[in-house]
Amino acid sequence: MARYKSARVGERGEPKPRCCVCGSEDVCAKIEGKFYCYKCGSRIIVEHSRRIVEELVAKYLGEKLLTQDDPFNWGGG
């Protein structure tokens, strides 16, 4: 008489997500399919938003500076 106690198959073999930067198991964010711990995740977000700001500055302020022929033209000739 084979009696199987509810075999818990499939409950193991579930890998714990780890931070892809420092390898910490204390994962709290998933960014672009990768896991990050709080420390690395927040750093990624800060650097990402800083890059966006820098692109905007280069795009708008850079063009503005280029379109001004001489921002320090004092009219002396």
Q: Tell me, by CB under 5 A, how many residues bind Zn ion.
A: 6
Q: Does 27 bind Zn ion (CB under 5 A)?
A: no
Do 60 and 50 touch, CB atoms closer than 8 A?
no
Q: Does 44 bind Zn ion (CB under 5 A)?
A: no
Interface residue with Zn ion among 17, 24, 29, 44 (CB under 5 A) is 24
Task: Find the DSSP H helices in the chain.
Answer: 38-56, 62-67
Residue with structure tokens 């690395």? Answer: 40
Q: Does 21 bind Zn ion (CB under 5 A)?
A: yes
Cβ closest to Zn ion, residue 48 vs residue 59: 48
Q: Tell me how crowded residue 26 is: count the other CB atoms within 10 A of its CB.
A: 12
Binding site for Zn ion (CB under 5 A): 19, 21-22, 24, 37, 40
